[in-house]
Structure 1
Amino acid sequence: MKALVLQRYGSVKNFVFADLPRPAVKPDEILVRVHAAGLNPIDNMIATGSFKPIIRLQLPATMGSDLAGVVVETGSRVTRFKVGDAVFASTFDLGVGALAEYAALPEQVAALKPDELDFVQAASIPMVGLTSWQALVERAQLQPGQKVFIPAGAGGIGSFAIQLAKLLGAKVATTTSTANVELVRQLGADEVIDYKKEEFEARLRDYDVVVATLRGGELEKSLQLVRPGSQIISLIGPPDAAFARKRGMNFLMRWVFGLLSGKIIRLAKQRNASYSFLFVRPDGQQLDEIGRHLAASRLRPVVDRIFPFTQAREGLAYLEQGRAKGKVVVQLVAASSER
């Protein structure tokens, strides 16, 4: 089978196409013919080697972690799926790449694809959907009437998290460029800060939850708008000691991550707020719930551009520019060939 693999760390230029054996399924796995694969910024970050302390890959490694496709084989202990089922899933941090013609994955990370979505739309969902769900529902336990700040509202995570926060009954503020103001309003944002014209910390006050999606000084600036008892949930770091303990890392790594996150934790405590780092995990049951909302049109996918499989590297390069409105998706099977 064809797959896009990372040969060695250092640059996205090290992505190459390779011919690999079709994966064999274990008893608890399903083999999926991949019809589409969603791209995520972390795909490019992994290539640089910046995630080596956290995500250990056996190079060369097949890239990608969002997929939608059709089950073509099931392991002997699989009970949730059968051959012919259309599914979508996140394989992030499992050592299973989505940018390949076939992928073998544990059945518990997959969910049935909503009939209302095509494969491209479904492939755009897993990473951003699960990240948003685990941040807002699982960790923040966001309640109706609360206020949440989700910067970069036109991006992949932002465009989905805004919708989910509104579905949960929250008031949502976001940042975006002038060209995307109308898009984020359509997604449900109540307060929209055009970052080219205004600083968000100058207008926003008394927020209950911040979902941090931007690096650098933006994270510390967000502390200026939170109220006592609020939560800052960072998707981009710095990782904290609690994360290192959960991953079973040794004392040295727990100490390093504690040191890296020490400043932001102290600053948050000064505001009587809490800071935590969120590292998304695959979860088929959560995808099932997200899928029901998608089927009922309470949530919708936002797809910026679609690249054919032969141009997957170009898709990753486009994503790296940071200008995508929603998700970038690679299509492996033409729509006319889909079941």
Structure 2
Amino acid sequence: MHPARLLISGLLIVALGNGVSARADNAPAYRALQHGQVDEASSLLRLQLAQNPSDAGAHQLLCRAAYAEEMADTAVDECQKAVAAAPTSGENQMWLGRALGLKAAHANKLSAFGLARQAHNAFERAVQLSPENARAASDLGEYYIAAPGIVGGGSDKAHRLAQSISSRFPAQSHRLLALLAEKQGDLAGAEREFKAAVAAGESAEAYIDLGFFYQRHQRPDEAATTISKALAADRTRGEVLVDAASILTDANRLPDVAEKALREYLDSGTQTDAAPVFKVHVQLGKLLAARGDRTGAKQQYQAALALAANYGPARKALSSLG
């Protein structure tokens, strides 16, 4: 699913990407998590932790399962335990930053600023520990763009970071510069940088970012055209399909293409916790409900709850059908 937008007291914090390889002990739970089976993954991981409470990988995966379900307190607790068990893991620090951002999104203003400072520290530590992790650099850069200076943000920091990663991660560098220009109201400059990110590799993800930009600024036809290019460029048939469907739905364009993309993702073998399967079932259910297919929508909501029984949005969507 496209980068999750986490609101920290009015600040947009973006969390990107998916995960890391799992230890052999945690491989079944990792596979379950990638396929959206968060209840199963959580049960397996808790059994593992009962035997080895200091298993950093298990704590990180539990953090990610809770993050996918938007259970902020649990996510922060588990990621803190992962960091305590493996403090030099940049991946653990990155996920801690994301979990703290999620918690801040639901906190009061005073608490949110404290959590934002902690998230900032975690993101910076993640980049220090894993300088070759493009996702960690993107998280930090987007934090800099969104957050005020009082909690470690700043446009100057974002610009310096974008410049520093330009040779290693050119597309991500252009993307950060695009988001920075957009934040500053320079829409022409933002579009130019998003297009430069596309030119850096013509990746499906870069087309998705450009499509989201067009959709945000009420340019639905250009968004739809760009999403068609993203789908043509996509080779993994992974979360790009979900992002494409989201943009098309928001732009009120090509609903058949959006539905096909979601179904293709659900039927693929390339799901990840970047686009949790249970959330995609809810997304497809809402699309079907909007098209008048209440039976199909109900089936999708029920499928979501079979994977994540405590996922509130699925329960709410199901109850809305009466």
TM-score bracket, normalised by the shorter chain, equals under 0.3
Using CA pairs below 8 Å that are at least 6 residues apart, which structure has the higher relative contact order? 1
Higher strand share: 1
Instruction: Give me the TM-score of the superposition, normalised by structure 2.
Output: 0.28
Higher helix share: 2
Instruction: Give me the TM-score of the superposition, normalised by structure 1.
Output: 0.27
